[in-house]
């Protein structure tokens, strides 16, 4: 089954996730979706925004006049991105927050303090991702990939939601990956700690977790529009560093960071998004299936509820460790 599933995924990827796939899909984009949009006074937070897709998103939102909060791990790269975005956008309402999303205590402290300040926040973009090929656990027992890709999303989203809810048009967007199509939610070993460590497989599992989590948020938090999206196979520093063999094989077919970021920008800005059901998974501005045909990756409702209950317990564990 895994061989069949992976084969179907590769064929689908070559047809839809490459630069050619974007060019074909973009012919059906409605240009009016992003025309005459005023976002002055609206506030956006983008994690992992010093390079790649996150930086493109932050730059375009700043160009459109929004207040933009960059959340970056590396202070030097973050500062460089901040200055570049300000210069290119001619917008000084761009701010840098240095936070390592692999450190749950720091993530919670940042989100709690930001919410307490009462500054406006209309849209949260969970973009940061991590693919470490060695298993590393912190003192609370959280594995690095899981802490960054899944737990940080939950910590940020749940802690910032009281603030986001005050917006007239609240949205939470999570940048997932088509790789999640190869995975079934594992509600028993959600940190992928059993057996040998496979960074690529763990990453794909966590991207599946993000999709399930967004679907559950849509039910738990009505009134806020949640979405996940697949940027396609894009040429970003993260792909080059974490998946060098894939990059070498596919580099002439990869999307540009701008093409990968297009749907995030559309989800963040377009009024058309409000008419689409919350919790959907998008590719090239369209809601798409979250499971491959005959893949047997559909999870049970029991597994879904067990998964989010475990995350809620982890959130409380982090909060208690900070108190």
Angstrom CA distances, 132 to 63, 137, 242, 243, 323, stand at: 33, 12, 7, 10, 29
Looking at the structure of the chain, the number of domains it has is 1
Question: Who wins on pLDDT, 1 or 211?
Answer: 211
* The pLDDT value given to residue 1: 57
Angstrom CA distances, 130 to 91, 124, 238, stand at: 29, 18, 8
**Is there a domain that residue 298 lies in?**
yes
Q: Structure tokens of 307?
A: 């998964």
Dihedral angle, C-alpha 283, 287, 293, 297, nearest 10 °: 90
End-to-end CA gap in the chain: 46
> Is 203 assigned a catalytic role?
yes
Helix (H, G, I), strand (E, B) or coil at 225: strand
**Is there a domain that residue 193 lies in?**
yes
* The pLDDT value given to residue 5: 85
Candidates 108, 203, 217, 247; catalytic one: 203
* The pLDDT value given to residue 161: 98
Q: Structure tokens of 109?
A: 């402290």
Average pLDDT in the chain:
96
**Is there a domain that residue 312 lies in?**
yes
Q: Output the DSSP codes for 135-154.
A: --B-TTS-BHHHIIIIIHHH
**Is there a domain that residue 20 lies in?**
no
**Is there a domain that residue 28 lies in?**
no
- Rounded Cα gap, residues 140 and 102, in angstroms: 12
CATH number of the domain residue 233 falls in: 3.40.50.720
What average pLDDT does range 36-41 have in this prediction?
A: 91
- DSSP designation for 233: S
Asked if residue 278 has pLDDT above 80, the reply is yes
What average pLDDT does range 146-173 have in this prediction?
A: 98
Question: Who wins on pLDDT, 75 or 36?
Answer: 75
* The pLDDT value given to residue 118: 83
Q: Name the least confident of 16-25, 83-92, 172-181, 231-240.
A: 231-240
Domain ranges, residue 69:
2-14+35-322
* The pLDDT value given to residue 323: 79
- Rounded Cα gap, residues 73 and 4, in angstroms: 38
**Is there a domain that residue 135 lies in?**
yes
* The pLDDT value given to residue 16: 96
Q: What is the pLDDT of residues 81-118, one digit of tens each?
A: 999 999 999 999 999 999 999 999 999 999 999 999 98
Q: What is the pLDDT of residues 226-245, one digit of tens each?
A: 999 999 999 999 899 988 99
Among the listed residues 119, 123, 142, 128, the one whose alpha carbon sits nearest the alpha carbon of residue 99: 128
Given a contact cutoff of 8 angstroms between Cβ atoms, the answer to whether 181 and 295 are in contact is: yes
**Is there a domain that residue 63 lies in?**
yes
Q: Between vectors from CA 144 to CA 254 and to CA 316, what angle results, nearest 5°?
A: 125
**Is there a domain that residue 111 lies in?**
yes
């Amino acid at each position: 089954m895994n061989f069949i599933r992976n084969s179907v995924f590769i064929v689908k990827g070559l047809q839809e996730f490459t630069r050619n796939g974007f060019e074909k899909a973009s012919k059906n984009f409605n240009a009016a979706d992003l025309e005459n949009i005023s976002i002055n006074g609206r506030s956006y937070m983008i994690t992992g925004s010093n390079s790649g897709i996150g930086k493109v998103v932050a730059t375009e939102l700043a160009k459109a006049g929004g207040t933009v909060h960059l959340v970056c791990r590396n202070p030097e790269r973050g500062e460089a991105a901040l200055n570049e975005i300000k210069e290119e956008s001619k917008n000084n309402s761009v701010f840098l927050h240095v936070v390592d999303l692999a450190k749950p205590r720091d993530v919670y402290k940042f989100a709690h303090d930001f919410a307490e300040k009462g500054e406006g926040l209309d849209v949260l973009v969970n973009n940061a991702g991590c693919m470490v090929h060695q298993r590393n656990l912190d003192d609370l027992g959280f594995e690095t990939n899981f802490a960054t890709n899944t737990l940080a999303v939950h910590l940020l989203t749940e802690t910032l939601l009281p603030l986001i809810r005050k917006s007239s048009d609240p949205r939470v967007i999570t940048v997932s990956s088509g790789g999640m199509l190869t995975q079934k939610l594992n509600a028993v070993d959600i940190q992928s700690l059993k057996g040998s460590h496979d960074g690529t497989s763990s990453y794909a599992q966590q991207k599946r977790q993000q999709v399930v989590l967004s679907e559950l948020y849509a039910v738990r938090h009505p009134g806020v529009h949640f979405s996940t999206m697949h940027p396609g196979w894009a040429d970003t520093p993260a792909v080059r560093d974490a998946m060098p063999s894939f990059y070498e094989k596919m580099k002439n077919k990869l999307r540009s960071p701008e093409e990968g970021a297009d749907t995030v920008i559309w989800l963040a800005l377009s009024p058309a998004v409000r008419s689409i059901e919350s919790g959907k998974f998008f590719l090239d501005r369209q809601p798409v299936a979250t499971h491959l045909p005959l893949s047997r990756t559909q999870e049970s409702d029991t597994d879904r509820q067990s998964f989010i209950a475990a995350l809620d317990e982890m959130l409380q564990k982090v909060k208690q460790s900070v108190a």
